Amino acid sequence: MKIFKHLASMLMALSLLGLAACMPVQEKFNNTDLTGLDYAKDFALTDHNGKPRTLADFKGKAVVIFFGYTQCPDVCPTTMAEMASVMKLLGSDADKVQVLFVTLDPERDTQALLASYVPNFDKRFLGLYGDAAATAKVAKEFKVFYQKVAGKTPGSYTVDHTAGSYVFDPQGRIRLFLRHGQGAEPVAHDLKILLK
């Protein structure tokens, strides 16, 4: 009787292993999975070419949205350079990704300044801006923190802000939060999963 129980247990274990071998392996994201999140649904801003933009304009592409400002001394240029490296790692898949830089400093970040700053990292990148009210609205929708920090002169302030980026899949659904400063490879890995 004991032998039959043992044999039955072994057969059950083998059949479960067989089933597991037939199931596709689910790839895991390196970054924070936000699938099903109930905020960060849309924005209404203007791109650095003067064209009004919403998230729907980029349907069919994975979208990476980073909030920053052009006079940022460290986090912003580092993030943008990292995203340029991600695009290189993606190869031909890079054309299926849209990187958006949303300014949190509409006072100083004019359309012309964004048009010269953002494409310097990659010509496909777009800078987005709005007035103070539109900026506050989109920051609230995305739960992005930002705050002016006074400098020695009125125009020399800095802006403290959230350092991560949001990623939407090609269907326009929020999927990931990217941590700042992790390097290009983990981001490229996650974008490749979303583009499958």
**161 marked among binding-site residues:** yes
Q: pLDDT tens, 120-152?
A: 999 999 999 999 999 999 999 999 999 999 999
Kindly state the tokens that stand for 88: 């290189």
> Could you identify the residue written with the tokens 């400002």?
69
pTM strictly above 0.75: yes
**22 marked among binding-site residues:** no
CA-to-CA separations, 89 to 40, 81, 94, 95, 138, in angstroms, rounded = 27, 13, 8, 12, 30
Per-residue confidence (pLDDT) for residue 155, from 0 to 100: 86
The amino acid that residue 22 corresponds to is C
Each residue's pLDDT tens digit in the chain (196 positions)?
555 555 455 555 555 555 555 545 568 999 999 999 899 999 999 999 999 999 999 999 999 999 999 999 999 999 999 999 999 999 999 999 999 999 999 999 999 999 999 999 999 999 999 999 999 999 999 999 999 999 999 888 999 999 999 999 999 999 999 999 999 999 999 999 999 9
**76 marked among binding-site residues:** yes
According to the CATH classification, is domain 46-195 in 3.40.30.10? Answer: yes
Burial class (CB in 10 A: 0-12, 13-18, 19+), 119: middle
Kindly state the tokens that stand for 34: 């936000």
